Amino acid sequence: MMMNNPTMLSYIRREQSVLGQILATYPDQIATATKAIPNDHQHWVILTTASSLNAATTASLYMQKTADVQVDVYNAAQFLHYGTPSPLVDVIIGISISGQDAVIQAAVKKAHAASDAYTIALTADASSPLAVASDATCDLLTGQETVPYITLSYQAIVLTLMLLSVHAAMDRQLISSLTANQELDEFSLLIENMNRTIQKANDFYRKFTIDFANAPEFTAIGSTILTGTLAEFETKFTEIVRVPTHGYPLVNFTHGGYLGAHENHCQFYVELPASDVNAQQLQAVKAYESRLTPHVYTISLTGEAPAINDGQTLQLLAVDDPYKAPLLAVIPFQVLAWYIAKAKGINLSHPIFTDFQDFIRPKQP
């Protein structure tokens, strides 16, 4: 789909339709990509960078639970220069939206040389160098996002990786076709609620525009299962809102992050169903931090009324499976980043620090 002068918000608003399209292609595209994977595969490695790394981290716990495989997610540059390839790896996934990233290509080549593992490219360009060099390709169906702050592609990566693990579990007879269809139905319900989630986030922003626009620092805290989502929050707010921003899994916040709290600190707490192992402690931390700053907000996917009705809770669709919750949980952060930047007068279409990459590039002898 071509758009005239697209913005980051334009791509956010396409998430429901494009992820619906990805789900509609299941199992054909996924089956083609996975048909030559050995049935006894147990170890997958994912190599990528930046927001794609956050997306892979987000999906990895669901993948491990569903397909009963070890999933290691590596920053491609770190793996290329310092990683030790394992000969026991069965599947290598390289993720590059353009498929042109030379570092990711080199990292995949390094990992493959040690293991001769099956390689899959996740990319929006099925004719790209990464795709050509891989055994199989999964097209993200997003096309190239023409703005530098990916949102749609992030979500496409998360869903595609999750669907890869569903099909792998079916191939290994770890789940029945009935269970697989139930998983797909749950994904469908989440996708059908994406536009509604965007609208709720819009309304939430309007309610607290002044507070959000004036905040000098943002922090988001949530369950460990949201590690990738919280990392993406930190990435997006740093790039777009351009103030100090941190995304903490709860355990990291309680072991030091809390020491940075102050009275002007804007904090977001992401609440998952009460069955989540961190639910009770998250409430205790939120109650404590509310004594230090009034700027405490909640993004709830529990379906329950807030324990403290302070009017500062964004209530989204109740998500029973916390492993799938990130597909909705990231959307408010994407939307808020866009609107807060606008409120601060930041022109996202105007590049800044345009000489940065040239300045830091090693000089040729």
Say whether pLDDT at 1 is over 60.
Answer: no
Q: Identify the band that residue 365 occupies on the pLDDT scale cut at 50, 70 and 90.
A: low
CATH 3.40.50.10490 given to domain 194-343: yes
Q: What is the pLDDT of residues 50-72, one digit of tens each?
A: 999 999 999 999 999 999 999 99
Domain boundaries, the chain: 8-176, 194-343
CA–CA separation, 164 vs 148, rounded Å?
27
CA–CA separation, 191 vs 18, rounded Å?
9
pLDDT of residue 2: 53
Q: Which amino acid is at 29?
A: Q
Higher-pLDDT residue of 155, 360? 155
Q: Are 315 and 196 in contact (CB under 8 A)?
A: no
Q: How far apart are the first and last CA of the chain?
A: 45
* DSSP state letters, 7-49: -HHHHHTTHHHHHHHHHHTTTHHHHHHHTTS-TT--EEEEEE-
* DSSP state letters, 285-340: HHHHHTTT-S-EEEEE-S-S--SS--S-EEE----S-TTTTHHHHHHHHHHHHHHH
Ranking 31-40, 70-79, 219-228 by mean pLDDT, the lowest is 31-40
pLDDT of residue 273: 84
Q: Identify the band that residue 292 occupies on the pLDDT scale cut at 50, 70 and 90.
A: very high
Question: Which range is most confident: 31-45, 188-202, 266-280?
Answer: 188-202
The token duo for 203 is 């309304």
* CATH architecture, range 8-176: 3-Layer(aba) Sandwich (3.40)
Cβ neighbours of residue 339 closer than 8 Å, sequence gap 6 or more: 202, 205, 209, 212
Q: What is the mean pLDDT of the chain?
A: 94
Q: Identify the band that residue 233 occupies on the pLDDT scale cut at 50, 70 and 90.
A: very high
pLDDT of residue 35: 87
The token duo for 281 is 């402690």
Cβ neighbours of residue 80 closer than 8 Å, sequence gap 6 or more: 103, 106, 107, 110
* Phi-psi label, residue 116: left if phi above 0, alpha if psi -120 to 50, beta otherwise: left
Mean pLDDT value of segment 74-84: 97
CA–CA separation, 337 vs 95, rounded Å?
24
DSSP 3-state assignment of 53? helix
Q: Are 91 and 64 in contact (CB under 8 A)?
A: no
Q: Identify the band that residue 192 occupies on the pLDDT scale cut at 50, 70 and 90.
A: very high
pLDDT of residue 364: 67
Q: Are 202 and 25 in contact (CB under 8 A)?
A: no
Degrees, nearest 5: CA angle 231-24-94: 45
Cβ neighbours of residue 185 closer than 8 Å, sequence gap 6 or more: none
Q: 8-176 and 194-343 share one CATH topology? A: yes
Say whether pLDDT at 256 is over 90.
Answer: yes
Ranking 148-157, 170-179, 343-352 by mean pLDDT, the lowest is 343-352
Q: Identify the band that residue 3 occupies on the pLDDT scale cut at 50, 70 and 90.
A: low
CA–CA separation, 77 vs 146, rounded Å?
24
CA–CA separation, 1 vs 141, rounded Å?
10
Sheet holding 91-95, edge to edge: 70-75, 43-48, 91-95, 118-123, 136-139
Instruction: Find the largest Cα–Cα distance for the chain.
Output: 64
pLDDT of residue 358: 86
Ranking 177-181, 205-209, 261-265, 344-348 by mean pLDDT, the lowest is 344-348
User: Long-range contacts of range 87-90, CB-CB < 8 Å, 24 or more positions apart?
Assistant: 87/114, 87/115, 88/43, 88/115, 89/43, 89/44, 89/45, 89/114, 89/115, 89/117, 90/37, 90/38, 90/40, 90/41, 90/42, 90/43, 90/44, 90/115, 90/117, 90/118
pLDDT of residue 237: 98
> In this prediction, what percent of the chain has a pLDDT beyond 70?
98
pLDDT of residue 331: 98
pLDDT of residue 287: 94
**Phi (first) and psi of residue 108, to 5 degrees:** -60, -45
Q: What is the pLDDT of residues 28-47, one digit of tens each?
A: 999 999 988 887 889 999 99
Q: What is the pLDDT of residues 310-337, one digit of tens each?
A: 799 999 999 999 999 999 999 999 999 9
CA–CA separation, 30 vs 122, rounded Å?
11
Q: Identify the band that residue 350 occupies on the pLDDT scale cut at 50, 70 and 90.
A: confident
What is this structure's pTM?
Answer: 0.95
Say whether pLDDT at 190 is over 90.
Answer: yes
